[in-house]
Amino acid sequence: MKTKLLLISLMFTAMVSYAQQDAQFTQYMYNTINVNPAYAGSRGAMSIFALHRTQWVGLDGAPTTNTVSINTPFNGSRLGLGVSIINDRIGPTTENTLSADLSYTIPTSENVKLSFGLKASANLFNLDVNKLNPENAGDPSLQAFDNKISPNIGAGIYLHSDKAYVGVSVPNFIETNRYNDNQVRVNKEKINYYLIAGYVMDLSYNLKFKPALLTKMVQGAPLQVDVSGNFLFFDKLTAGIAYRWSASVSAMVGFQISDAMYIGYGYDLETTKLDNYNSGSHEIFLRYEIFKNNNKITTPRFF
């Protein structure tokens, strides 16, 4: 128990002292709206998405993340709209982020489109000092924080077709300090830079393969590189693997229950020393789509 608490304390200290990163997802290729606002409406349908992630199971205070989002094209125009909520809990801290996304899409050819997106968000940060056991109970940097609101703005570009995509984005342009009454900084949200890409290959009539990439860069934290490969069998069953550079390997599986509903599951196994203290990470999501424009978007899609 002491070892677990020490690990979580070290994690929290690192978060306090250096850079705050956005929540991470293994199945990022299905959760693009949280990374890039230009994705809003790109599927040609109203897409409702919900995901639950439990990280480092068995480790006290380990991250737990829940997210729900809706995005849709707007009334047959070039506009796309999106709304999302992320709840992220790590040890004694809880963050709730509400975001609104607006995109505008320009056809660049018969099959390729270029989308520009803007994101407006509000972050509510809470620190529960009752979950801590500091040596100095009067430490001014460990006072309670109750729903400190931090607004932010972001932007992204997304080039896509039915077979491929590439995007760059910055979900939060404003670096935000969070203080207590004594003006002591306990958390700093840094700028996160994203690059995403993917390509779908038809291996046979009933088999497709899609490699994908997500790269995240933030000052004060290691470069995150996620690479994955997914196979789609008979337009129903998806199976694949992913690797997060110097962090974890993952297995993913998904099933197209109907034209409207898709469910997916991912399991992460740590490749660091943290593997000695947890039994892995689990991620499950459900996507439901309505009002599809089947004349423009093929069904189903990897992204």
Mean pLDDT calculated for residue range 55-84: 93
Query: pLDDT at residue 19 above 60?
Result: no
Is 301 part of any domain? no
pLDDT in tens, 212-222: 999 999 877 78
Structural domain count, the chain: 1
With a pLDDT cut of 90, the percent of the chain lying above it is: 59
Query: pLDDT at residue 203 above 90?
Result: yes
Most confident by average pLDDT, 21-30, 176-185, 283-292: 283-292
276 confidence band (pLDDT: 50, 70, 90): confident
> How many other CB atoms sit within 10 Å of the CB of residue 81?
17
Mean pLDDT estimate for the chain: 84
pLDDT at 251 (0 to 100): 97
Q: What is the largest CA-CA distance in the chain?
A: 67
Mean pLDDT calculated for residue range 49-76: 93
Residues constituting the chain: 303
Q: For residues 132 and 154, what is the distance between their CA atoms, to the nearest angstrom?
A: 33
Query: pLDDT at residue 200 above 70?
Result: yes
Q: What is the 3-state secondary structure (H, E, C) of the chain?
A: CHHHHHHHHHHHHHHHHCCECCCCCCCHHHCHHHCCHHHCCCCCCEEEEEEEEECCCCCCCCCEEEEEEEEEECCCCCEEEEEEEEEEEECCEEEEEEEEEEEEEEECCCCCEEEEEEEEEEEEEEECHHHCCCCCCCCHHHCCEEEEEEEEEEEEEEEECCCEEEEEEECCCCCEEEECCCCCEEEEECCEEEEEEEECEEEECCEEEEEEEEEEEECCCCCEEEEEEEEEECCCEEEEEEEECCCEEEEEEEEECCCCEEEEEEEEEECCHHHHHCCCEEEEEEEEEECCCCCCCCCCCCC
pLDDT at 254 (0 to 100): 96
Is 94 part of any domain? yes
Is 295 part of any domain? no
Is 243 part of any domain? yes
Is 302 part of any domain? no
Query: pLDDT at residue 278 above 70?
Result: yes
Give the count of alpha carbons within 13 A of 278, CB side only. 27
How far apart are the two ends of the chain, measured CA to CA in Å? 41
295 confidence band (pLDDT: 50, 70, 90): very low
> How many other CB atoms sit within 10 Å of the CB of residue 26?
27
pLDDT at 298 (0 to 100): 45
The predicted model scores a pTM of 0.84
Domain extent for 121: 2-290
Select the more confidently predicted residue: 197 or 128.
Answer: 197
pLDDT at 186 (0 to 100): 54
By mean pLDDT, which of 6-10, 121-125, 217-221, 272-276 is the weakest?
6-10
Is 297 part of any domain? no
Mean pLDDT calculated for residue range 54-80: 92
Is 300 part of any domain? no
Select the more confidently predicted residue: 4 or 188.
Answer: 188
The residues, any chain, with a CB within 8 Å of residue 106's CB and separated by 6 or more, are 78, 113, 114, 115, 116
pLDDT at 127 (0 to 100): 78
pLDDT in tens, 129-155: 777 766 666 666 566 566 678 899 999
pLDDT at 246 (0 to 100): 86
> How many other CB atoms sit within 10 Å of the CB of residue 35?
25
The residues, any chain, with a CB within 8 Å of residue 109's CB and separated by 6 or more, are none
Tokens 């932010």 -> residue: 152
Query: pLDDT at residue 266 above 50?
Result: yes
pLDDT at 55 (0 to 100): 94
pLDDT at 269 (0 to 100): 94
> Degrees (nearest 5) of the Cα angle 182, 184, 189?
140
- The CATH number given to whatever domain includes residue 88 is 2.40.160.40
Is 296 part of any domain? no
